[in-house]
Structure 1
Amino acid sequence: MGRLLWLTAAAVLAAGCSGAPGGEAAAKRQPDPRPLGGALHYTATESAALHRAEEQEVRKCMTSRGFPYDAIPVGDVERRTAESPYGLLTPSRAAQDGYGLTVERLEKPPADPNAQRVSALAERDRRAWEGALKGAANGPREEIELPDGPTVSVATDSCVAVARRALYGASWDRNQYALQSLRNSVVSDTLDHRLVRAAEREWAACMRDEGFRYEHREDPLKALKKRLDSAGSDAAALRATGREELRIAVRDAACQAEAGLAEQISRAQKHVEKALPPACASLLEKFRAARDTALRQAGARTASTA
C-alpha cells in the first residue's frame, strides 16, 4: 500500500517535470565522480550477481556444518548503486525518486527466508545456528586497524567470512575496509575543497531564488527526515511528504546543475587524489584484481543458472 502511495506521488510530479527541454541530455553530460576510480562502486547487475554468489557460498558453508540455510533475495540494488557519494542528483532521478527518503521509509528489506525457521529453534540451537552464520562470540577474530584510527573486528570462522574468502580471496576484508576508509577521506576532503565550497554557495543562492532558505545541501534532507518522523504511519502525511520531497529534489537538481556542482566536485576530487600516498596505488591494484576475479566468478554462476 505504502509503495503504491509513493508511486502515485512520483507519477504526478514527474509528469509535470519530465518535459523540461534538454533535461535528459544534460543529465547524460553531467559527471558522476566516484572516489578511487569507482573501485568500490558496482552497477546494479554486478551487485546483484555478487550478492547471489555470496549467498550460494554461505549456504554451502552452513550446509557443511549441518545447518539449513536459504539464500536471502537481492534487495533494491538499483537505488543503492545509483546513489552518489557526494549527494549529487540528476534531473531524472530527482523527479522519479527524490532523495530516496520516502520510498526507503515505506519499503521493507527483503524478507529473510530463514527467520521463521530459526525463531522456532530452541535457544541453544538458535545460538549455534547464528554462531555458524556470523561467528561464535568466543571464536577466532581478525582485528583490522583502519588508517584513520578505528579497529574493525571480523569473525574469521563465520560462514559469512568463509563465503567472502571463497569469492574474493583471503585479503579482501582488510583491503576493502582500508579502501572504504580511504574513500571516506577522499569524499570529506573533496567536499571541503574551495572549488566545491564556492559551488555550494552558488547552489544555496539558487535555492533561495526558488524559495528555499538552505545554507547547506544536507538541510533539505534533515527537514524531510524530520517530517517523515512526524508523519509516522499516516498515509496522507506520508503521501504529502513524498510529493514535497520530489518538489524539493527537482529544484535541488536544477540548482546543482546551475552551480556546476558535479563538475567542481570532479575537479576537486582529482586534486585530492593527486595528494594520496603512493602506497594507495598498490592497494587499489590488489583490490581491483580481487574484485575482477569475483565478478567473473559471479557472472559465470549467473550464466550457468540462467
Structure 2
Amino acid sequence: MSRSTRAFAVLLVVLLSITACSSNDTPGTARRAAEPNEPPIRPSLPFDEYRNDSLAFTTRLAQDRLIRACMGRRGVAWDPPPISAQDANPEFRRYGLMDPTVAGTFGYHLPIDAARERRNRYFLHDVTAKQREALEGSEEQKGCRQKSDSILHRGVSKTKRVLLFGLGGRSLDAAEESPDVQKAKRQWSACMRTRGYRYTGPEQAQRDARWNLDSPRISKTERAVATADVSCKEKVSLITVWAVAEADVQRGLIAKYAKELEKIRKANAILRVNVTRALG
C-alpha cells in the first residue's frame, strides 16, 4: 500500500470515531475529546490551485444552509450541529505528524474532533424517518440534499476530480523517492537515534506495533516518540525538503495534464460563485 493510500485510509477513520472515556490505567490514557488542534501548517503546493480545499469546506457550509431552508419550507424540524472547522483542512498530515503540541498530547492518534463527533452522532442516531425522507427524497419528491446540490452545481461541468486526487498521490510518492527527501529521511533517522529510537523513517515510527491507532489508549512512549519525530523533522527540515520536491513533481504533472486541470479550475470558479450566492 502506498503512503498516500495509507494516509487517506487514516483520515477516514476519524469521520466516525467515537469519543472514549478517560482512564488512569498505567499503559496509557484514553484520547480526550478536543476541538481542532492541529494548525494548517502544510506548505502550499501547486495543486492547491485546483484542489480548493477551502472551497470544499464553504460548499458544505452552503449546502447545510440550503438544506436547512428546504427542510423548513417542508415543515420538517432540522437542526444538526454545525460542520467542524477541521474539515477545512483535510491534508494537515500530508507529510506525517507536524505539530509538537498534538504529538505530545495524542501521539500518532488523530485528535478527536468534538464538533465532528456531535454532527456524526446526530446523523447516525437522531435523524427520524420523516427527516431522512425529506433529506434524501422519495419516488414522488426530490430530497433537500439533491435540491441543494442542484443549486450549488448549476452550470458546473462534471470534471474528473478523481484525476486530481490520483495525481496528488503520485506526486507525494514520487517526491518521497527523490534523492533530497531520502537524504533528509536518513538525517531524521540519525536524529531519532540520538534520542534512543531506531526507525528508518517517520512512517515506520507511526506504524510501530506498540501503538494501536484503532484503540483510544495512548501510551507515554507513543507520545515521547511522536514528540521526537516532530522535533527531528524540524531539525533536518524534512517537511520543507519534501514539499519542495513535491512541488517540482506537481509542476511537471500540471504541464502534462494542463487541459484536464484547466477544466477543474473553471468548474471551481463557477462553483465558488454559486456558493457565495448561497451564503450571501
TM-score tier after normalising by the smaller chain length: 0.5 to 0.7
| Counterpart for residue 178 of structure 1 | 163
Deviation at 1:164, TM superposition (A): 3.5
Q: State the AA in 1 paired with 2:252.
A: A
1:53 is aligned to 2:56: no
Aligned residues: 248
What TM-score comes out, normalization by structure 1 length? 0.60
| Counterpart for residue 45 of structure 2 | 34
| Counterpart for residue 233 of structure 2 | 256
Does the C-alpha gap of structure 1 residues 181 and 260 become closer, same or farther in structure 2, counting only changes over 3 Å? same
Identical positions, percent:
20
| Counterpart for residue 152 of structure 1 | none
Stretches of structure 1 that go unaligned for 5 or more consecutive residues are 10-26, 137-156, 233-237
Q: State the AA in 2 paired with 1:287.
A: I
Conservation of the 8 A alpha-carbon contact between 2:181 and 2:238: yes
Conservation of the 8 A alpha-carbon contact between 1:47 and 1:77: no
Deviation at 1:83, TM superposition (A): 0.9
| Counterpart for residue 78 of structure 1 | 86
| Counterpart for residue 148 of structure 1 | none
Structure 1 stretches of 4+ moved >6 Å = 61-64
Conservation of the 8 A alpha-carbon contact between 1:207 and 1:214: yes
Determine helix, strand or coil for the equivalent of 2:185.
Answer: helix
Conservation of the 8 A alpha-carbon contact between 2:33 and 2:113: no
Does the C-alpha gap of structure 1 residues 61 and 104 become closer, same or farther in structure 2, counting only changes over 3 Å? closer
Conservation of the 8 A alpha-carbon contact between 1:199 and 1:264: yes
| Counterpart for residue 201 of structure 1 | 186
Conservation of the 8 A alpha-carbon contact between 1:31 and 1:263: no
Distance 1:77 1:254 in 2: 27
Deviation at 1:179, TM superposition (A): 1.5
Distance 1:164 1:100 in 2: 34
Deviation at 1:49, TM superposition (A): 3.2
Distance 1:3 1:220 in 2: 26
Q: State the AA in 2 paired with 1:283.
A: E
Does the C-alpha gap of structure 1 residues 279 and 194 become closer, same or farther in structure 2, counting only changes over 3 Å? closer
Distance 1:109 1:63 in 2: 21
| Counterpart for residue 283 of structure 1 | 260
Distance 1:50 1:225 in 2: 40
1:216-263 Cα distance to aligned partner (Å, 9 max, x none): 32223223784354x56xxxxx3xx16544433221111112222122
Conservation of the 8 A alpha-carbon contact between 1:102 and 1:242: no
| Counterpart for residue 122 of structure 2 | 112
Q: State the AA in 2 paired with 1:196.
A: V
Deviation at 1:6, TM superposition (A): 4.6
1:132 is aligned to 2:142: no
Deviation at 1:73, TM superposition (A): 3.3
Distance 2:156 2:53 in 1: 19
Q: Over aligned residues, Cα RMSD in angstroms?
A: 4.4
Q: State the AA in 2 paired with 1:163.
A: S
1:268 is aligned to 2:268: no
What TM-score comes out, normalization by structure 2 length? 0.65
1:121-161 Cα distance to aligned partner (Å, 9 max, x none): 6xxx97x667538xx8xxxxxxxxxxxxxxxxxxxx87645
Determine helix, strand or coil for the equivalent of 1:275.
Answer: helix
Determine helix, strand or coil for the equivalent of 2:227.
Answer: helix
Q: State the AA in 2 paired with 1:34.
A: L
Does the C-alpha gap of structure 1 residues 51 and 245 become closer, same or farther in structure 2, counting only changes over 3 Å? farther
Does the C-alpha gap of structure 1 residues 99 and 158 become closer, same or farther in structure 2, counting only changes over 3 Å? farther
Distance 1:36 1:116 in 2: 38
1:200-222 Cα distance to aligned partner (Å, 9 max, x none): 12212211221222223222322
